[in-house]
Structure 1
Amino acid sequence: MFKNIRHYGVCLHRYAGLMMTLFLVVAGLTGSIIAFYDPLDQMVSPQLYQVSESDKRLQMIDPLVLRERLLAKYPEIQVQWVPLKPTDNKAIRFSITPSINPSTGESYQLTYDELFVNPYTGDIQGKRMRGKISDGIENLIPFLFKLHYQLALGQVGAYLMGVIGLLWTIDCFIGACLTFPRKTRQQAAQKEKRASRFIWLKRWLPAWKIRMHSTNRYKLNFDLHRAVGLWTWGMLFVLAWSSVAFNLNKEVYQPVMHFLFETQEMRPEALRQLQPNQHPHLSYAEAKSVAERYLNVYNPQHLRQVQPFGMSYLPKLGVYQYRFVSNQDISSSRGNTRLFIHADTGKIVDVYVPLGKASGDTFTTWIRTLHMADCWGVPFKIFISVMGIVLSMLSVTGFIIWFRKRQAQR
Structure 2
Amino acid sequence: LHRWAGLAMAGFLVIVGLTGSLLAFYPELERLMHPHWYPDRDPSTWLGAGGLAERLETAEPWLRVTQVSVQGFDGATSAWVEPRLDPMTRGPFELGYDYVVLDPTTGTVLDRIQWGTLRQGWTGLMSFVYALHYALALDMPGVWVLGICALVWTVDCFVGLYLTFPTRRPQAGGVHTGEGQGGRSWCQRWQPAWMVKWTASTYRLNFDLHRAGGLWTWVLLLIFAWSSVYMNLWDTVYTWTTRVMFEYHPVWAELHPLQHPSDTHSLSWIEAQSVGDRLIAEQATQRGFLVKRPVALRFDRSLGVYQYQVESNREIDDRPRRYTTQVFFDADTGALKVALFPSGQYTGNTISNWLYALHMANVFGLPYRILVCVMGLVVTMLSGTGVYIWWKKRRSRLVAASRRIAAI
Q: TM-score, normalised by structure 1?
A: 0.86
Q: Deviations over 1:131-161 (max 9, x none)?
A: 3224221122112112111222222222211
Mapped partners of 2:50, 2:209: distance in 1: 53
Q: Which moved further from structure 2: 300-309 or 270-279?
A: 270-279
Q: Deviations over 1:39-61 (max 9, x none)?
A: 212222334x143x7x7699433
Q: State whether structure 2 residue 375 is matched by structure 1 residue 368.
A: no
Q: State whether structure 2 residue 170 is matched by structure 1 residue 181.
A: no
Q: 1:238 aligns with which of 213, 220, 223?
A: 223
Q: State whether structure 2 residue 35 is matched by structure 1 residue 46.
A: yes
Q: 1:107 aligns with which of 81, 92, 99?
A: 92
Q: Which moved further from structure 2: 307-316 or 275-284?
A: 275-284
Q: Is the 8 A contact 2:52 2:68 kept in 1?
A: no
For 1:211, the equivalent position in structure 2 comes to 197
Q: Is the 8 A contact 1:85 1:307 kept in 2?
A: no
Q: Deviations over 1:96-136 (max 9, x none)?
A: 22233345554333201111222233322221112322422
Q: State whether structure 2 residue 87 is matched by structure 1 residue 84.
A: no
Q: State whether structure 2 residue 388 is matched by structure 1 residue 400.
A: yes
For 1:380, the equivalent position in structure 2 comes to 368
Q: 2:339 aligns with which of 340, 351, 373?
A: 351
Deviation at 1:269, TM superposition (A): 10
Alignment of 1:6-405 (within 5 A): 12-47=1-36, 49-51=37-39, 59-85=45-71, 92-102=77-87, 105-186=90-171, 189=175, 191=177, 199-212=185-198, 214-264=199-249, 276-297=261-282, 299-332=285-318, 333=320, 334-405=322-393
- Aligned with 2:317: secondary structure? coil
Structure 1, unmatched stretches of 5+, are: 1-11
- Aligned with 1:325: secondary structure? strand
Code of the residue aligned with 2:148 in structure 1: it is V
- Aligned with 1:210: secondary structure? coil
Code of the residue aligned with 1:45 in structure 2: it is H
For 1:5, the equivalent position in structure 2 comes to none
Q: TM-score, normalised by structure 2?
A: 0.86
Mapped partners of 1:304, 1:405: distance in 2: 59
CA shift in 2, pair 1:374/1:267, >3 Å: closer
Deviation at 1:181, TM superposition (A): 1.2
Code of the residue aligned with 1:349 in structure 2: it is K
Deviation at 1:304, TM superposition (A): 2.5
Structure 2, unmatched stretches of 5+, are: 399-408
CA shift in 2, pair 1:295/1:251, >3 Å: closer
Mapped partners of 1:354, 1:250: distance in 2: 18
CA shift in 2, pair 1:290/1:41, >3 Å: same
CA shift in 2, pair 1:183/1:366, >3 Å: same
Q: Is the 8 A contact 1:77 1:96 kept in 2?
A: yes
Mapped partners of 1:94, 1:57: distance in 2: 18
Deviation at 1:365, TM superposition (A): 0.8
- Aligned with 1:80: secondary structure? strand
Deviation at 1:70, TM superposition (A): 1.0
Mapped partners of 2:236, 2:334: distance in 1: 32
Mapped partners of 1:369, 1:268: distance in 2: 21
Mapped partners of 1:296, 1:245: distance in 2: 30
- Aligned with 1:79: secondary structure? strand
Deviation at 1:253, TM superposition (A): 1.8
Q: Which moved further from structure 2: 383-392 or 214-223?
A: 214-223
Mapped partners of 1:270, 1:56: distance in 2: 37
Q: Is the 8 A contact 2:71 2:77 kept in 1?
A: no
Q: Which moved further from structure 2: 22-31 or 55-64?
A: 55-64
Code of the residue aligned with 2:289 in structure 1: it is L
CA shift in 2, pair 1:275/1:330, >3 Å: farther
- Aligned with 2:211: secondary structure? helix
Report how many aligned residue pairs link the two structures.
391
Mapped partners of 1:308, 1:318: distance in 2: 21
- Aligned with 1:119: secondary structure? coil
CA shift in 2, pair 1:271/1:388, >3 Å: closer
Q: Is the 8 A contact 2:157 2:222 kept in 1?
A: yes
- Aligned with 2:57: secondary structure? helix
Deviation at 1:300, TM superposition (A): 3.1
Mapped partners of 2:253, 2:212: distance in 1: 49
